[in-house]
Protein backbone atom coordinates (compact mmCIF):
# COMPACT_ATOMS: atom_id res chain seq x y z
CA UNK A 1 0.00 0.00 0.00
CA UNK A 2 1.41 3.41 -1.04
CA UNK A 3 0.34 6.12 1.40
CA UNK A 4 0.91 9.87 1.11
CA UNK A 5 1.37 11.32 4.58
CA UNK A 6 1.45 15.02 5.44
CA UNK A 7 2.81 16.47 8.68
CA UNK A 8 1.57 19.63 10.35
CA UNK A 9 4.44 20.44 12.72
CA UNK A 10 4.61 22.25 16.04
CA UNK A 11 8.15 23.51 15.26
CA UNK A 12 10.17 24.05 12.10
CA UNK A 13 12.87 21.91 10.53
CA UNK A 14 15.64 24.47 11.13
CA UNK A 15 15.14 24.68 14.91
CA UNK A 16 12.96 21.67 15.73
CA UNK A 17 11.71 20.88 19.19
CA UNK A 18 12.99 17.57 20.50
CA UNK A 19 9.45 16.21 20.11
CA UNK A 20 9.47 17.11 16.39
CA UNK A 21 12.91 15.63 15.88
CA UNK A 22 12.16 12.39 17.72
CA UNK A 23 8.59 11.70 16.62
CA UNK A 24 8.86 12.94 13.02
CA UNK A 25 12.30 13.45 11.50
CA UNK A 26 13.89 10.39 13.11
CA UNK A 27 11.26 8.03 11.70
CA UNK A 28 11.12 9.36 8.11
CA UNK A 29 13.50 6.69 6.71
CA UNK A 30 11.40 3.91 8.26
CA UNK A 31 8.21 5.37 6.80
CA UNK A 32 9.71 5.51 3.32
CA UNK A 33 10.88 1.92 3.54
CA UNK A 34 7.27 0.93 4.34
CA UNK A 35 5.93 2.73 1.21
CA UNK A 36 4.63 5.67 3.22
CA UNK A 37 5.70 8.92 1.54
CA UNK A 38 6.07 11.70 4.14
CA UNK A 39 5.85 15.42 3.40
CA UNK A 40 5.80 18.52 5.57
CA UNK A 41 2.55 20.35 4.85
CA UNK A 42 3.06 23.06 7.44
CA UNK A 43 5.89 24.23 9.71
CA UNK A 44 5.74 27.49 11.70
CA UNK A 45 8.39 30.19 11.62
CA UNK A 46 8.04 30.40 15.40
CA UNK A 47 7.10 27.20 17.22
CA UNK A 48 3.51 27.11 18.45
CA UNK A 49 1.05 24.42 19.48
CA UNK A 50 -1.98 26.41 18.36
CA UNK A 51 -1.25 27.95 14.93
CA UNK A 52 -3.93 29.12 12.52
CA UNK A 53 -4.13 26.24 10.03
CA UNK A 54 -7.51 27.21 8.61
CA UNK A 55 -6.05 27.94 5.17
CA UNK A 56 -4.45 24.53 4.62
CA UNK A 57 -7.49 22.65 3.32
CA UNK A 58 -7.16 23.61 -0.40
CA UNK A 59 -3.47 22.65 -0.45
CA UNK A 60 -4.09 19.29 1.21
CA UNK A 61 -6.92 18.47 -1.17
CA UNK A 62 -4.99 19.51 -4.28
CA UNK A 63 -1.93 17.43 -3.28
CA UNK A 64 -4.10 14.38 -2.61
CA UNK A 65 -2.86 13.32 0.82
CA UNK A 66 -4.16 10.10 2.37
CA UNK A 67 -3.33 11.00 5.99
CA UNK A 68 -2.59 14.26 7.80
CA UNK A 69 -0.60 14.03 11.03
CA UNK A 70 -1.01 16.88 13.54
CA UNK A 71 2.27 16.79 15.49
CA UNK A 72 1.26 18.33 18.82
CA UNK A 73 -0.77 20.95 16.93
CA UNK A 74 -4.20 21.62 18.36
CA UNK A 75 -6.65 24.46 18.97
CA UNK A 76 -9.92 25.54 17.30
CA UNK A 77 -8.55 25.79 13.75
CA UNK A 78 -6.84 22.37 14.03
CA UNK A 79 -10.05 20.73 15.27
CA UNK A 80 -12.02 22.35 12.44
CA UNK A 81 -9.44 21.27 9.83
CA UNK A 82 -9.47 17.68 11.09
CA UNK A 83 -13.26 17.57 10.77
CA UNK A 84 -13.15 19.10 7.28
CA UNK A 85 -10.56 16.54 6.18
CA UNK A 86 -12.77 13.76 7.49
CA UNK A 87 -15.64 15.10 5.38
CA UNK A 88 -13.38 14.78 2.34
CA UNK A 89 -12.32 11.22 3.18
CA UNK A 90 -8.82 12.12 4.36
CA UNK A 91 -7.67 10.34 7.52
CA UNK A 92 -6.13 12.24 10.43
CA UNK A 93 -3.78 11.43 13.32
CA UNK A 94 -2.98 13.53 16.39
CA UNK A 95 0.46 12.93 17.89
CA UNK A 96 1.18 14.40 21.31
CA UNK A 97 3.85 14.06 23.98
CA UNK A 98 2.95 16.08 27.08
CA UNK A 99 -0.54 17.55 26.83
CA UNK A 100 -4.06 16.13 26.99
CA UNK A 101 -6.45 17.40 24.30
CA UNK A 102 -9.66 15.32 24.17
CA UNK A 103 -11.22 17.53 21.48
CA UNK A 104 -8.41 16.61 19.04
CA UNK A 105 -8.73 12.94 19.94
CA UNK A 106 -12.43 13.14 19.10
CA UNK A 107 -11.85 14.98 15.82
CA UNK A 108 -9.13 12.65 14.47
CA UNK A 109 -9.08 8.96 13.51
CA UNK A 110 -6.23 8.06 15.87
CA UNK A 111 -4.22 9.71 18.64
CA UNK A 112 -0.65 8.78 19.53
CA UNK A 113 0.68 9.46 23.05
CA UNK A 114 4.08 8.64 24.54
CA UNK A 115 3.05 6.88 27.76
CA UNK A 116 0.29 4.69 29.12
CA UNK A 117 -0.26 7.28 31.84
CA UNK A 118 -1.06 9.98 29.27
CA UNK A 119 -3.52 7.60 27.61
CA UNK A 120 -5.23 7.02 30.96
CA UNK A 121 -5.97 10.76 31.25
CA UNK A 122 -8.28 10.71 28.23
CA UNK A 123 -11.99 9.87 28.60
CA UNK A 124 -12.63 6.12 28.57
CA UNK A 125 -14.72 6.27 25.41
CA UNK A 126 -11.64 7.50 23.45
CA UNK A 127 -9.20 4.80 24.59
CA UNK A 128 -9.92 2.47 21.66
CA UNK A 129 -8.33 4.92 19.23
CA UNK A 130 -5.48 6.14 21.43
CA UNK A 131 -2.16 4.36 20.92
CA UNK A 132 1.10 4.46 22.88
CA UNK A 133 4.32 5.03 20.96
CA UNK A 134 7.39 5.77 23.05
CA UNK A 135 10.16 8.21 22.22
CA UNK A 136 12.70 6.21 20.24
CA UNK A 137 16.31 6.29 21.47
CA UNK A 138 18.18 8.54 19.05
CA UNK A 139 21.75 7.26 19.27
CA UNK A 140 21.87 3.63 20.43
CA UNK A 141 25.38 3.34 19.00
CA UNK A 142 26.71 5.58 21.80
CA UNK A 143 27.83 3.26 24.59
CA UNK A 144 30.07 3.71 27.59
CA UNK A 145 32.76 1.08 27.03
CA UNK A 146 34.88 1.46 30.14
CA UNK A 147 33.94 1.81 33.80
CA UNK A 148 36.26 3.81 36.03
CA UNK A 149 37.83 1.89 38.90
CA UNK A 150 37.56 4.89 41.21
CA UNK A 151 35.35 4.79 44.31
CA UNK A 152 35.10 8.56 44.46
CA UNK A 153 36.83 10.97 46.84
CA UNK A 154 37.29 14.71 47.29
CA UNK A 155 40.50 14.54 45.27
CA UNK A 156 39.25 12.10 42.61
CA UNK A 157 35.46 12.46 42.50
CA UNK A 158 33.00 10.44 40.47
CA UNK A 159 30.78 12.29 38.00
CA UNK A 160 27.01 12.19 37.75
CA UNK A 161 25.09 13.64 34.79
CA UNK A 162 21.61 15.15 34.82
CA UNK A 163 20.02 15.96 31.45
CA UNK A 164 16.98 18.17 31.81
CA UNK A 165 14.64 20.21 29.63
CA UNK A 166 14.59 22.92 32.30
CA UNK A 167 16.77 25.76 33.51
CA UNK A 168 17.31 24.48 37.05
CA UNK A 169 17.73 26.88 39.96
CA UNK A 170 18.59 24.14 42.46
CA UNK A 171 19.46 20.45 42.39
CA UNK A 172 16.06 18.83 43.08
CA UNK A 173 15.70 16.50 46.10
CA UNK A 174 19.48 15.99 46.40
CA UNK A 175 20.41 19.59 47.18
CA UNK A 176 24.13 19.43 47.91
CA UNK A 177 25.98 16.48 46.29
CA UNK A 178 28.18 14.35 48.56
CA UNK A 179 31.86 15.38 48.71
CA UNK A 180 32.94 12.49 46.47
CA UNK A 181 30.56 13.39 43.60
CA UNK A 182 30.50 16.13 40.96
CA UNK A 183 27.32 16.77 38.96
CA UNK A 184 27.07 17.98 35.35
CA UNK A 185 23.66 19.52 34.62
CA UNK A 186 22.86 19.73 30.90
CA UNK A 187 19.84 21.89 30.20
CA UNK A 188 18.42 25.08 28.74
CA UNK A 189 21.41 27.24 29.59
CA UNK A 190 23.09 29.83 27.33
CA UNK A 191 26.31 28.97 25.54
CA UNK A 192 29.42 30.28 27.29
CA UNK A 193 30.26 30.91 30.93
CA UNK A 194 29.82 34.69 30.71
CA UNK A 195 26.37 34.37 29.13
CA UNK A 196 25.27 31.87 31.81
CA UNK A 197 26.42 34.10 34.65
CA UNK A 198 24.75 37.15 33.08
CA UNK A 199 21.46 35.26 32.77
CA UNK A 200 21.82 33.97 36.35
CA UNK A 201 22.29 37.54 37.56
CA UNK A 202 19.07 38.69 35.89
CA UNK A 203 17.17 35.72 37.32
CA UNK A 204 18.55 36.51 40.77
CA UNK A 205 17.45 40.15 40.53
CA UNK A 206 13.94 39.05 39.59
CA UNK A 207 13.55 36.81 42.65
CA UNK A 208 11.59 38.00 45.66
CA UNK A 209 11.57 35.03 48.02
CA UNK A 210 14.56 34.98 50.36
CA UNK A 211 14.78 31.17 50.54
CA UNK A 212 14.61 30.92 46.76
CA UNK A 213 17.45 33.44 46.43
CA UNK A 214 19.57 31.52 48.94
CA UNK A 215 18.97 28.17 47.17
CA UNK A 216 19.83 29.67 43.80
CA UNK A 217 23.08 31.17 45.11
CA UNK A 218 24.09 27.85 46.68
CA UNK A 219 23.37 26.08 43.40
CA UNK A 220 25.29 28.51 41.19
CA UNK A 221 28.29 28.78 43.53
CA UNK A 222 28.60 25.08 44.38
CA UNK A 223 32.01 23.92 43.10
CA UNK A 224 30.66 20.37 42.68
CA UNK A 225 27.89 21.41 40.27
CA UNK A 226 28.46 22.58 36.69
CA UNK A 227 25.74 23.75 34.30
CA UNK A 228 26.13 23.20 30.56
CA UNK A 229 24.14 24.27 27.52
CA UNK A 230 22.32 21.51 25.65
CA UNK A 231 24.07 20.46 22.43
CA UNK A 232 23.13 17.35 20.47
CA UNK A 233 26.71 16.08 20.31
CA UNK A 234 27.89 17.58 23.59
CA UNK A 235 25.23 15.88 25.68
CA UNK A 236 26.54 12.46 24.65
CA UNK A 237 30.09 13.47 25.57
CA UNK A 238 28.80 14.25 29.06
CA UNK A 239 27.04 10.87 29.25
CA UNK A 240 30.11 8.93 28.15
CA UNK A 241 32.33 10.75 30.63
CA UNK A 242 29.92 10.29 33.55
CA UNK A 243 29.88 7.45 36.07
CA UNK A 244 26.22 7.67 37.15
CA UNK A 245 23.03 8.94 35.50
CA UNK A 246 20.64 10.82 37.77
CA UNK A 247 17.15 12.30 37.33
CA UNK A 248 16.01 13.92 40.59
CA UNK A 249 12.57 15.51 40.09
CA UNK A 250 10.69 17.82 42.42
CA UNK A 251 7.24 16.23 42.53
CA UNK A 252 5.42 19.42 43.40
CA UNK A 253 2.79 20.60 43.09
CA UNK A 254 1.25 17.34 44.24
CA UNK A 255 -1.47 15.90 42.06
CA UNK A 256 -4.77 14.34 43.00
CA UNK A 257 -6.50 13.01 39.86
CA UNK A 258 -9.66 14.94 39.16
CA UNK A 259 -11.86 14.78 36.05
CA UNK A 260 -10.84 17.47 33.58
CA UNK A 261 -7.84 18.62 35.66
CA UNK A 262 -4.49 18.49 33.85
CA UNK A 263 -1.66 16.98 35.93
CA UNK A 264 1.45 19.05 36.74
CA UNK A 265 4.27 18.90 34.20
CA UNK A 266 6.46 16.56 36.28
CA UNK A 267 3.84 13.85 36.08
CA UNK A 268 3.48 13.77 32.28
CA UNK A 269 7.14 13.77 31.23
CA UNK A 270 8.16 11.11 28.69
CA UNK A 271 10.77 8.47 29.48
CA UNK A 272 13.21 9.81 26.88
CA UNK A 273 15.89 11.23 29.18
CA UNK A 274 15.87 8.08 31.28
CA UNK A 275 16.15 5.64 28.37
CA UNK A 276 18.87 7.79 26.79
CA UNK A 277 21.04 7.44 29.90
CA UNK A 278 20.27 3.74 30.29
CA UNK A 279 21.03 2.95 26.64
CA UNK A 280 24.41 4.63 27.02
CA UNK A 281 25.20 2.07 29.70
CA UNK A 282 25.02 4.34 32.73
CA UNK A 283 23.71 3.03 36.06
CA UNK A 284 20.78 5.24 36.99
CA UNK A 285 19.00 6.63 40.04
CA UNK A 286 15.77 8.54 39.47
CA UNK A 287 12.69 9.91 41.13
CA UNK A 288 9.71 7.62 40.37
CA UNK A 289 7.20 9.25 38.00
CA UNK A 290 4.55 7.48 35.87
CA UNK A 291 6.60 7.28 32.65
CA UNK A 292 9.66 5.92 34.44
CA UNK A 293 7.92 3.22 36.47
CA UNK A 294 7.57 0.73 33.54
CA UNK A 295 11.24 1.25 32.59
CA UNK A 296 13.02 0.71 35.90
CA UNK A 297 12.95 -2.66 37.62
CA UNK A 298 13.99 -1.36 41.03
CA UNK A 299 17.18 -2.97 42.27
CA UNK A 300 17.73 -4.81 38.98
CA UNK A 301 18.46 -2.25 36.24
CA UNK A 302 18.36 0.92 38.33
CA UNK A 303 16.95 2.52 41.47
CA UNK A 304 13.98 4.66 42.40
CA UNK A 305 14.78 7.15 45.17
CA UNK A 306 11.86 8.73 47.03
CA UNK A 307 13.70 10.80 49.63
CA UNK A 308 16.98 12.63 50.15
CA UNK A 309 18.11 9.73 52.37
CA UNK A 310 17.41 7.16 49.63
CA UNK A 311 19.20 9.29 47.05
CA UNK A 312 22.40 9.28 49.09
CA UNK A 313 22.01 5.56 49.83
CA UNK A 314 21.75 4.55 46.16
CA UNK A 315 24.41 7.00 45.01
CA UNK A 316 26.72 5.49 47.60
CA UNK A 317 25.88 2.01 46.27
CA UNK A 318 27.25 3.10 42.88
CA UNK A 319 30.59 4.16 44.33
CA UNK A 320 31.54 0.51 43.84
CA UNK A 321 32.76 0.11 40.21
CA UNK A 322 31.48 -3.49 40.14
CA UNK A 323 27.95 -2.28 40.86
CA UNK A 324 28.23 0.48 38.26
CA UNK A 325 29.33 -1.97 35.58
CA UNK A 326 26.64 -4.55 36.39
CA UNK A 327 23.75 -2.07 36.56
CA UNK A 328 24.95 -0.14 33.52
CA UNK A 329 24.95 -3.30 31.40
CA UNK A 330 21.52 -4.33 32.67
CA UNK A 331 20.16 -0.84 31.99
CA UNK A 332 21.33 -0.85 28.37
CA UNK A 333 20.07 -4.37 27.68
CA UNK A 334 16.63 -3.56 29.10
CA UNK A 335 15.92 -0.57 26.83
CA UNK A 336 17.97 -1.18 23.68
CA UNK A 337 15.24 -2.91 21.67
CA UNK A 338 12.04 -1.97 23.48
CA UNK A 339 12.65 1.78 23.10
CA UNK A 340 14.54 1.72 19.80
CA UNK A 341 13.63 3.97 16.87
CA UNK A 342 12.97 0.85 14.79
CA UNK A 343 10.46 -0.56 17.25
CA UNK A 344 8.59 2.74 17.67
CA UNK A 345 8.55 3.27 13.88
CA UNK A 346 7.10 -0.22 13.44
CA UNK A 347 4.25 0.63 15.81
CA UNK A 348 3.57 3.93 14.03
CA UNK A 349 3.53 2.21 10.64
CA UNK A 350 1.02 -0.34 11.96
CA UNK A 351 -1.19 2.50 13.25
CA UNK A 352 -1.04 4.42 9.98
CA UNK A 353 -1.80 1.28 7.98
CA UNK A 354 -4.78 0.49 10.18
CA UNK A 355 -6.05 4.06 9.91
CA UNK A 356 -5.87 3.88 6.11
CA UNK A 357 -7.89 0.66 6.14
CA UNK A 358 -10.56 2.41 8.14
- Please report which confidence band the pLDDT of residue 252 belongs to, taking 50, 70 and 90 as the band edges: confident
Q: What is the DSSP string of 253-266?
A: S-----TTPPPPGG
Q: What is the DSSP string of 156-192?
A: S-EEEEEE-SS--SS-TTT-SPPTTEEEEEEES--SS
User: What's the whole-number mean pLDDT along residues 282-289?
Assistant: 97
pLDDT at 242 over 90: yes
CATH number attached to the domain at 158-335: 3.40.50.2000
Name the pTM for this structure: 0.89
pLDDT at 167 over 80: no
pLDDT at 348 over 70: yes
- pLDDT per residue as tens digits for the range 2-26: 899 999 999 999 989 989 999 999 9
Q: What percent of the chain has pLDDT over 70?
A: 94
Domains of the chain by residue range: 3-136+340-357, 158-335
User: What's the whole-number mean pLDDT along residues 144-168?
Assistant: 92
- Please report which confidence band the pLDDT of residue 51 belongs to, taking 50, 70 and 90 as the band edges: very high
pLDDT at 130 over 90: yes
Average pLDDT over the chain, rounded to an integer: 91
- Is the dihedral angle over the CA atoms 55, 61, 64, 70 positive or is it negative? positive
- Please report which confidence band the pLDDT of residue 191 belongs to, taking 50, 70 and 90 as the band edges: confident
- Please report which confidence band the pLDDT of residue 41 belongs to, taking 50, 70 and 90 as the band edges: very high
Residue in 156, 150, 148 with CA at minimum distance from that of residue 179: 156
CA–CA distance, 356 with 123 (Å, rounded to integer): 24
Task: Write the class of the CATH domain 3-136+340-357.
Answer: alpha beta
Amino acid sequence: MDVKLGFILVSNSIQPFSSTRISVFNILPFLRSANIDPYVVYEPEIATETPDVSGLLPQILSERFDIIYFQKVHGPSAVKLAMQLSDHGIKTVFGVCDVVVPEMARATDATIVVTDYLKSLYPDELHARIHVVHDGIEHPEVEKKEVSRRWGSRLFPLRAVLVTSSHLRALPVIGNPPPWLHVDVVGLYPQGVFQRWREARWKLLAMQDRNEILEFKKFMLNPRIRCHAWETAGVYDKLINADIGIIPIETKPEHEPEPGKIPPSWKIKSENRLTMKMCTGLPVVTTPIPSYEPVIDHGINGFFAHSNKEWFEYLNFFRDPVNRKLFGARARDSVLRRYSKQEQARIIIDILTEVCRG
